């Protein structure tokens, strides 16, 4: 039967398809996300071909399955290997996303150079830059290995042929939104193209054992552009976070089949590329003001790593009819909840005051274990009294004002002691099970009012 062509409009955010164009996607609610894609199909009345019977594989007991523990490849960047779970796994498919200019391509080029310095043959595939542009960037970064091969190509079938002929130890695709599959009529970057090219690269990685890194663009909401199924297909999803106005960059793992999730690596952007930061706590607290009202130090767990950060609060008189609530690096809804707890349970009248909260260094903290530190920063600024010297505040706060227990207190306490702090204010339930540490005073609190008495 003769095939015919027709158009479908696909949402670039969620993959919803409709035969007519609409300004707003009815599935995800995105505006101006429907893009026309040309598809070819046979006559709808054509009879389906007879299905051929496929031999089913024989099931095997999970106890009888033999696994070979393959060593991981070190990239030469310990912070990058830490986020991956200890190194690069053979045959893995890794997706890394981030804002434009955040340093994704820089990090990938430095990681490939680290592999090439160890005598491995690696391949950098670019669909956005020319070879001359990549060479200029490599000179700035100090990349000097001849085993790092560079090619500019967007056809996924040509890239798969390169993998068979060159047999590299690792491959970087920059970026997956520029890859093109000739079997589809849609343009590169569309939902169908991103889904199919990712599927082909995943199959190639598993068959050949070559680890492939996919650099992905992000939308204005911070999510990786393309269908959500792409994040389900890959083995690891990394997000490169940070403000372009700050020199610090945080590489965070949100999915990892070969290691811990929410693990982070901290980098510093310099003229010669990204430099790893082995001790982030010292870097984030380097310029902390001494005895300043509104400044509180807390310990946040990022994967398996405790990091000390400074939370700053500023409470001031408002000249507007509606007070401002500006929050950077924290959950604004969580801060509003804690302000309500302060008014109700401690008696601080903050209704007509502007409240500004910030995490110094451009870090973003989402765990509720820093609730008590947020509350202490706001109270310190409101009372215009600094916290006691050497104090670190930690604990989750409930709506009734109770201070709830948190996890991994031992690791946080060890980091606090290493950084020279002497007083640890924690939930009472955690203080009971925390082992005694020389030089560290531990105060357990059950209610926010009790914490305010100790601090002020």
pLDDT at 99 exceeding the cut of 60? yes
Residue 192, annotated as binding a ligand: no
- pTM, rounded to two decimals: 0.76
pLDDT value of position 113? 93
CA angle 36, 40, 42 (to 5 degrees): 140
Name, of 57-71, 238-252, 387-401, the range with top average pLDDT.
Answer: 387-401
> H or E stretch including 163?
helix 156-166
Residue 105, annotated as binding a ligand: yes
Residue 329, annotated as binding a ligand: no
CA 137/CA 142 separation, integer angstroms: 9
For the record, the structure tokens of 337 come out as: 């909840």
Residue 104, annotated as binding a ligand: yes
C-alpha separations of 109 from 113, 139, 143, 220, 243 in Å: 6, 11, 8, 25, 21
Q: In terms of Cα–Cα distance, which of 346, 309, 355, 338 is closest to 456?
A: 346
> H or E stretch including 106?
helix 104-117
| 269 — pLDDT class (breaks 50, 70, 90) | confident
Residue 289, annotated as binding a ligand: no
- Dihedral angle at the C-alpha atoms of 317, 319, 321, 325, nearest 10 degrees? -50
Number of H helices, E strands in the chain: 12, 21
**Rounded mean pLDDT of the chain?**
87
Which stretches of 182-262 are DSSP H helices?
191-208, 229-233
Ranges 162-176, 197-211, 229-243: which has the least confidence: 229-243
pLDDT value of position 33? 79
pLDDT value of position 43? 42
Name, of 2-6, 232-236, 258-262, the range with top average pLDDT.
Answer: 232-236
pLDDT value of position 93? 95
Residue 132, annotated as binding a ligand: no
Residue 273, annotated as binding a ligand: no
Residue 101, annotated as binding a ligand: yes
Considering only residues 428 and 39, tell me which one the structure prediction assigns the higher pLDDT.
428
Considering only residues 112 and 187, tell me which one the structure prediction assigns the higher pLDDT.
112
CA 170/CA 163 separation, integer angstroms: 10
């Amino acid at each position: 039967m003769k095939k015919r062509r027709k158009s479908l409009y696909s949402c670039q955010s969620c993959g919803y398809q409709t035969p007519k164009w609409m300004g707003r996607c009815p599935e995800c609610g995105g505006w101006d996300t429907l893009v026309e894609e040309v598809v070819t199909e046979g006559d709808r009345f054509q009879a389906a071909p007879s299905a051929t019977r496929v031999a089913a594989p024989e099931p095997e007991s999970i106890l009888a399955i033999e696994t070979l523990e393959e060593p991981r490849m070190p990239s030469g960047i310990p912070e990058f290997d830490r986020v991956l779970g200890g190194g690069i796994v053979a045959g893995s498919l890794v997706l890394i996303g981030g804002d434009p200019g955040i340093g994704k391509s820089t990090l990938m080029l430095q990681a490939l150079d680290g592999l090439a310095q160890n005598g491995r043959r690696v391949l950098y595939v670019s669909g956005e830059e020319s070879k001359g542009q990549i060479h200029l960037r490599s000179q700035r970064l100090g990349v000097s290995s001849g085993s790092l091969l560079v090619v500019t190509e967007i056809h996924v079938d040509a890239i798969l042929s390169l993998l068979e002929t060159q047999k590299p130890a690792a491959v970087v695709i920059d970026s997956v939104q520029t890859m093109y599959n000739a079997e589809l009529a849609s343009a590169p970057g569309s939902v169908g193209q991103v889904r199919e090219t990712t599927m082909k690269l995943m199959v190639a990685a598993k068959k050949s054992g070559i680890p492939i890194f996919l650099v992905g663009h992000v939308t204005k909401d911070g999510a990786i552009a393309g269908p959500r199924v792409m994040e389900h297909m890959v083995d690891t999803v990394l997000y490169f976070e940070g403000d372009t106005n700050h020199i610090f960059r945080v590489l965070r793992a949100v999915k990892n089949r070969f290691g811990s999730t929410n693990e982070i690596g901290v980098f510093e952007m310099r003229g010669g590329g990204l430099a790893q930061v082995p001790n982030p706590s010292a870097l984030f607290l380097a310029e902390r003001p001494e005895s300043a009202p509104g400044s509180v130090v807390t310990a946040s767990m990022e994967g398996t790593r405790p990091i000390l950060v400074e939370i700053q609060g500023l409470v001031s008189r408002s000249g507007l009819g509606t007070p401002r609530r500006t929050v950077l690096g924290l959950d604004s809804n969580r801060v509003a909840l804690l302000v309500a707890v302060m008014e109700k349970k401690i008696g601080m009248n903050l209704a007509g005051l502007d409240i500004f909260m910030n995490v110094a260094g451009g870090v973003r903290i989402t765990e509720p274990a820093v609730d008590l530190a947020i509350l202490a920063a706001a109270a310190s600024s409101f009372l215009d009294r600094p916290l006691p010297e050497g104090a670190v505040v930690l604990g989750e706060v409930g709506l009734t004002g109770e201070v709830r227990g948190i996890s991994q207190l031992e690791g946080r306490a060890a980091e606090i002691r290493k950084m020279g702090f002497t007083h640890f204010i924690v939930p009472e339930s955690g203080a009971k099970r925390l082992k005694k540490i020389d030089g560290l005073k531990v105060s357990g609190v059950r209610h926010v009012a009790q914490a305010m008495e100790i601090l002020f």
